[in-house]
Structure 1
Amino acid sequence: MLLFPRLSQILQFLLIFYVSIAVLYTTNYLLVSPLRVGLSILVNHPMSPFSLWAFFINPSPKKDKRHTEARSYNLDPRFLQFSGGDTEWKSSTVALEHGLGHAEPILVEEELSLSKAFSTSMRPSKVIPYFYRAAGRFDQDDITITTLVTSSRFQAFSRLVERYQGPISVTIHVGNTTTEIRNLLKSLRVLYTTSRSMAIYVDVHLVIDSFDRQFNTWRNIARLFARTDYIMMLDVDFFICTDFRTAMRKSWHIMSQLREGNTAFVIPAFEYIKYADGVDHSGFPKDKRTLLGLIKSKRLGMFHASWAPGHNSTDYKRYYAAPPGDVYEVTQYHSAYEPYVVFKKDGPPWCDDRFIGYGGNKAACLFEMYISGISYFVLADHFIIHQSHRYEEAARRNEESNITMVPKVLICGEDASDLSSLRITDLSQGRMVWAHDDVQRLLGDITEVVYLDSKNRSEFLAAFQPGGKYSDVVGIYRENGSADILGVFDKEIINGLSPSVKWIAHNGAGYDPVDVHACIARGIYLSNTPGAVDDATATTALYLLISTLRQYSIAERSLRALKWKPAGLSAKTHDITGRTLAILGLGGIGLRFAELVQAFPMRVIYHSRRKVEDAPSYCEYFENVEEMLAQADVLSLHVPLRAETVGLMGEKWIRALKPGAIIINTARGKVIDEEAMIRALEDGHLSSVGLDVFPNEPEINPRLLEFPNITLLPHMGTENQDSQRKMEVRALQNLRDYFTVGMGKDLVIEWRNAKKPHL
């Protein structure tokens, strides 16, 4: 009977105990904890009277201990964990798995550990992270602006903070003298006490040393102590015109790419043409439509247009034409590219803090990210504008004068011994043959031009070795005639070029004499000269078409032998009008040829890798090659020579042509299986061929000379001074474009399709 009263007492006791615990927890949660946090903020906040009083009593800087909360930073191969002013150095898991390192953490003074974290900078530097720590709380998927500020730019920085209204991690450098430190801290205190946004959003990290403009070190510090997963590297004097931050966070696709860590998003940068227009940010455009109007009126333009390689890869023409919401990839990256980008904080390489001073430090940082596998995409709805201010021009010019060199261009033109018939006395200029005056016009003001004087291939390669006369060459102009001295630009030559070589401008539409894959592997751009050869090559094809259909070559040889028309010739010839011309490869030359034959007219059918969207209406596309060949009276080849096109016109496709068809080739000799073609001529399946190119030029298969019904030319496609000058000028223009805007317009297709060069 006593069992139940005791059980009742136990239950009552447990109930009272539970209620007591609940009351204590609720009291702590609702009253004590908020009061403690509030008092802490009141005492520590830079705007509080307690903090101000403490500053004026003792103005010497004291480190804000709030930065010592538990937080890990992956500085391979160790982890730094801040705790109470000391740092725990821990060996990585990989090291421990291999029997290396130390299992227990080692306590090291925080100042020492921070000096090691940035040990490749000029040092010794005193790094004080979170000298001020923002009171706001930030989502991990937010975007922190990381930037650098000097005391002279505090006003611009304040505008950036007020405009962004989001997390900012800033590195502030101060010289290592008592006066400089005292003055900066007073200015910094004023900045914080006059801006509520500053106290909510901005983490300040101090760097105290005697070294100036260690920009990459300062960038790394701001990035290391950013408190969100994503950051934007931005200069303090830019005005944020559009809300890219909100737009990005609302886009599932963009955030997914950021999380993967392989993408950086570019916010295009602009500046006013006139200095005065860019001083007052209140009149800056806030939407793209207004921006485009200012660009059209030539009030705004690309940021730092005077140094186009810095931002040209953004492809501003595409940006202007992009539809709303468009995000497009940067496809022509230049090593000097230095856009303003949003990317994942952890993962991409850190900036190399050996770069100091003006010129190349940020570009080097972003280029290292690029070659590590980061792809750059442009947000076509958004933009930032530079606020006009006076640079420290004296310091900038002084530093840049010490690092700026005039790039050197090597002209590998025709063998000078072949130019005597042109009566050119200056053989160094004569190697350009026709455009020698244009060399100075296009390159003379921006490069040092030198001319090939090597006597053979081995001497040429030796000159690219360290200390050699070509060891600092950046651009190379290549003429096919140089092969008489050097041979083709195969893998041996490409790999033998000095690391300074960045661009080879090949003179010719076909570029098979240059190993493009070796160029890509070395990071050497290669251009050709399409367009410049279109007219000349198309008219050569037209001549071959007329000659083979009408058998004019037989008639001419008969007349030269003092004979009249050969008997029965009319039975072997045809009119041109109404015949069907098939074009394999409707590029620039193929299109021009199609245009020319409309004078008769002819029916034009074609096949390319894909349908040419802007092809004229009289060009009929065939997806199936053999169906096209079956309808062709004449087939004209206009495909480039690559590994996959060698022997492209082989036995199968030749036999797919209707009996009595004709083949015209002004492309490259090796795209036809020559033996299969000869067999088709012998058995009459082909009535004729018109050839301007051969597999082993200048040698020609003697069996071809046995066919009186074919027309042969010794590669006359561009053999006229007008076309050759256009080709030379276009090759030179590619070099000029590279040096002035960062990219030539005729980059070959293999390079354009290369996702990432192997540099």
Structure 2
Amino acid sequence: MASERLSVVVTRRLPDAVETRMTELFDVRLCPQDGPMERADLVAAMQDADVLVPTITDTIDAAMLGQAGERLKLIANFGAGVDNIDVATARQRGILVSNTPGVLTEDTADMTMALILAVTRRIPEGLSIMQAGRWEGWAPTALLGGRVGGRRLGVLGMGRIGQAVARRAKAFGMQIHYHNRKRLRPETETELEATYWESLDQMVSRMDVITINCPHTPSTFHLMNARRLKLMKPNAVIVNTSRGEVIDENALTRMLRGGEIAGAGLDVYEHGTDVNPRLRELQNVVLLPHMGSATREGRMEMGEKVIINIKTFADGHRPPDLVVPAML
């Protein structure tokens, strides 16, 4: 395989430097427009290519994998999450799946902290007043938010990103608490000054801010459901830069509208771009268009990882970022 140039199909526009390097190394078919591929086009690509490079906007399910050609041996996902791909079915069909973990940790943690500050300090409301030309001057009681220092932060999912958020929040004087599938090592807990909660319910009921930093899996779908959201304190806020499916969006919207939760900062949504319209109307909600990982540096590093995974595979070795079902 190393003697031939692999046939690679890329489903979305990538940074110019990444596309140029791919063209140098592989027989690449690039996507001319910056929009998701139609399902039929994805199937056609999977029938012709050795390697498919999809993004999180491309759903690669069992039915599509059943139509893949014999040449397809690697799906090199441009993204850290792989919940858009049926990894188990791919493996059964002899198709490897790789991703791009680690490179977006700091960028996503930055955005998480930005959302915490934006919600608690009412930054979008102030911005809206200024842009509308409605500011009439400083007042002692205008746009009063809350101080983050001293508040309890509950981190749901203490992996790379969760720990990076905890480090930032600790620097702001927040008290760090967390719930995770596995408890951290004692030295990591000591470094972060983090308190472990075995019971998610108990942690949720005592936090001032909840940040979602766990992946979307069958076990985390609606992990923050209506019952659990009701455990939150009325003056608490929730932030999600992970996966929208972890929160029951309709239940969250109802509780925000009813004043049962003080606010929310969301970068991801349960139904992708189909955001609950009632959520958009709320003053106590900050909504972003999935910007958590959107830095030039991060996208370049993602592209480099994709190229390394493909090149390593082409050379007859295991891709360094190979995903196996046990990891999910």
Q: Same fold (TM over 0.5)?
A: yes
Q: How far did residue 736 of structure 1 move?
A: 2.3
Question: How many residues are aligned here?
Answer: 319
After the TM superposition, which residues 254-653 of structure 1 pair with which residues of structure 2 at under 5 Å, given as runs?
A: 405-406=3-4, 408-414=6-12, 431-439=14-22, 444=25, 448-452=26-30, 456-462=38-44, 465=47, 470=48, 473-480=49-56, 483=57, 487-564=58-135, 568-571=141-144, 573-613=145-185, 615-617=188-190, 618-653=193-228
Matching residue's letter, 1:602 = M
Q: Over aligned residue pairs, what C-alpha RMSD do you find?
A: 2.5
Change (3 A) 1:743 1:545: same
Gaps of 5+ in 2: none
> Which structure is higher in RCO with an 8 Å CA cutoff and minimum separation 6?
2
Gaps of 5+ in 1: 1-402, 416-430, 754-759
Change (3 A) 1:434 1:686: farther
In 2, Cα distance between equivalents of 1:667 and 1:518 = 24
Q: 1:661 aligns with which of 236, 243, 260?
A: 236
Change (3 A) 1:464 1:562: closer
Change (3 A) 1:752 1:570: closer
Matching residue's letter, 2:28 = V
In 2, Cα distance between equivalents of 1:726 and 1:653 = 37
Q: Which residue of 2 aligns with 1:686?
A: 261
Q: How far did residue 432 of structure 1 move?
A: 4.7
Matching residue's letter, 2:158 = L
Q: Which residue of 2 aligns with 1:670?
A: 245
Q: How far did residue 463 of structure 1 move?
A: 5.6
Q: Work out whether residues 152 and 207 of structure 2, in 8 Å CA contact, stay in contact via their aligned partners in 1.
A: yes
Matching residue's letter, 1:436 = E
Q: TM-score, normalised by structure 2?
A: 0.88
In 2, Cα distance between equivalents of 1:605 and 1:456 = 43
Give the greater-gyration-radius structure (CA).
1
In 2, Cα distance between equivalents of 1:710 and 1:752 = 33
Deviation per CA, 1:256-311, whole angstroms, max 9, x where unpaired? xxxxxxxxxxxxxxxxxxxxxxxxxxxxxxxxxxxxxxxxxxxxxxxxxxxxxxxx
Question: Tell me, what secondary structure is at the counterpart of 2:242?
Answer: coil
In 2, Cα distance between equivalents of 1:707 and 1:539 = 24
Q: Which residue of 1 aligns with 2:320?
A: 745
Q: 2:297 aligns with which of 714, 722, 726?
A: 722
Q: Work out whether residues 607 and 625 of structure 1, in 8 Å CA contact, stay in contact via their aligned partners in 2.
A: yes
- The percentage of aligned residue pairs carrying the same residue is 29
Q: Work out whether residues 183 and 196 of structure 2, in 8 Å CA contact, stay in contact via their aligned partners in 1.
A: yes
Question: Tell me, what secondary structure is at the counterpart of 1:636?
Answer: strand
In 2, Cα distance between equivalents of 1:433 and 1:646 = 36
Matching residue's letter, 2:199 = N
Q: How far did residue 499 of structure 1 move?
A: 2.3
In 1, Cα distance between equivalents of 2:276 and 2:265 = 14
Q: How far did residue 491 of structure 1 move?
A: 2.0
In 1, Cα distance between equivalents of 2:80 and 2:2 = 34
Q: Work out whether residues 558 and 566 of structure 1, in 8 Å CA contact, stay in contact via their aligned partners in 2.
A: no
Change (3 A) 1:434 1:687: farther
Q: How far did residue 691 of structure 1 move?
A: 0.5
